């Protein structure tokens, strides 16, 4: 009998602490309400650039001690992970044709729903070069150049100087 503190916790969920009073005249006491643990979450948003209207298909991986999950973004670029334990993590964002981003972050213990404070922008990967004809020709335009591999099949034509750019 008396006043007590009831603590409820599980890794990946927000801990609860409640004050309870157990009556002196009862041998058995059932608490008047049940408790529901809420999962601790981590969320953020990725952008494929100012001109992109769809930000889907980005692989987002979150890795920490005893935690490793991945998620693929949909049109709005949002991602979310659940049952996160407070601590240090590596966030990796990748998509074919873009430069992979890796971010070290710390999920605080005092926040149930931690949101990365800024949008992560992925930059397009650029492949460029020059192709020219041998000899004295000065017009090197319209030479076909194709890049194939890892889900990519892109074709461009050279400029008058023989320059090409894939992005």
- CB 157: neighbour CB atoms within 10 A? 11
- Give the integer Cα–Cα distance in Å for 131 and 144: 9
- Spatial contact of 42 and 81, defined as CB atoms under 8 Å apart: yes
- Spatial contact of 73 and 60, defined as CB atoms under 8 Å apart: yes
Per-residue pLDDT of the chain (167 residues; tens, 9 = 90+): 688 899 999 989 988 888 888 888 888 888 878 889 999 999 999 999 888 889 999 999 999 988 999 999 999 999 999 999 999 999 999 998 888 999 999 988 888 999 988 899 998 888 899 999 888 788 999 999 999 887 778 899 999 999 999 87
The pLDDT score that the predictor gives to residue 153 is 84
| Beta pairing class for 78-82 and 41-47 | antiparallel
- Give the integer Cα–Cα distance in Å for 28 and 38: 28
Q: Give the helix, strand, coil percentages of the chain, each rounded to 5.
A: 0, 50, 50
Which are the contacts of 15, defined by CB distance < 8 A and separation ≥ 6? 7, 8, 9
**What pTM did the predictor assign?**
0.70
Identify the CA nearest to 107 among candidates 130, 90, 95: 90
- Give the integer Cα–Cα distance in Å for 7 and 133: 77
Which are the contacts of 118, defined by CB distance < 8 A and separation ≥ 6? none
- Spatial contact of 162 and 134, defined as CB atoms under 8 Å apart: no
- Give the integer Cα–Cα distance in Å for 20 and 33: 11
């Amino acid at each position: 009998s008396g006043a007590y503190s009831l603590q409820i916790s599980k890794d990946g969920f927000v801990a609860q602490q409640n004050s309870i009073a157990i009556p002196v005249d009862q041998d058995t006491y059932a608490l008047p309400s049940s408790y529901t643990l809420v999962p601790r979450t981590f969320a953020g948003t990725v952008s494929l650039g100012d001109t992109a209207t769809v930000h889907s298909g980005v692989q987002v991986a979150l890795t920490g001690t005893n935690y490793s999950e991945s998620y693929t973004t949909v049109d709005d670029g949002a991602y979310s992970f659940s049952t996160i334990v407070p601590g240090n993590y590596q966030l990796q964002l990748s998509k074919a044709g873009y430069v992979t981003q890796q971010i070290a972050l710390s999920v605080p213990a005092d926040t149930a729903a931690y949101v990365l404070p800024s949008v992560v922008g992925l930059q397009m990967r650029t492949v460029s070069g020059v192709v020219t004809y041998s000899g004295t020709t000065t017009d090197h335009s319209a030479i076909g150049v194709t890049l194939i591999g890892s889900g990519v099949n892109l074709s461009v034509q050279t400029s008058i100087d023989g320059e090409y750019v894939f992005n």
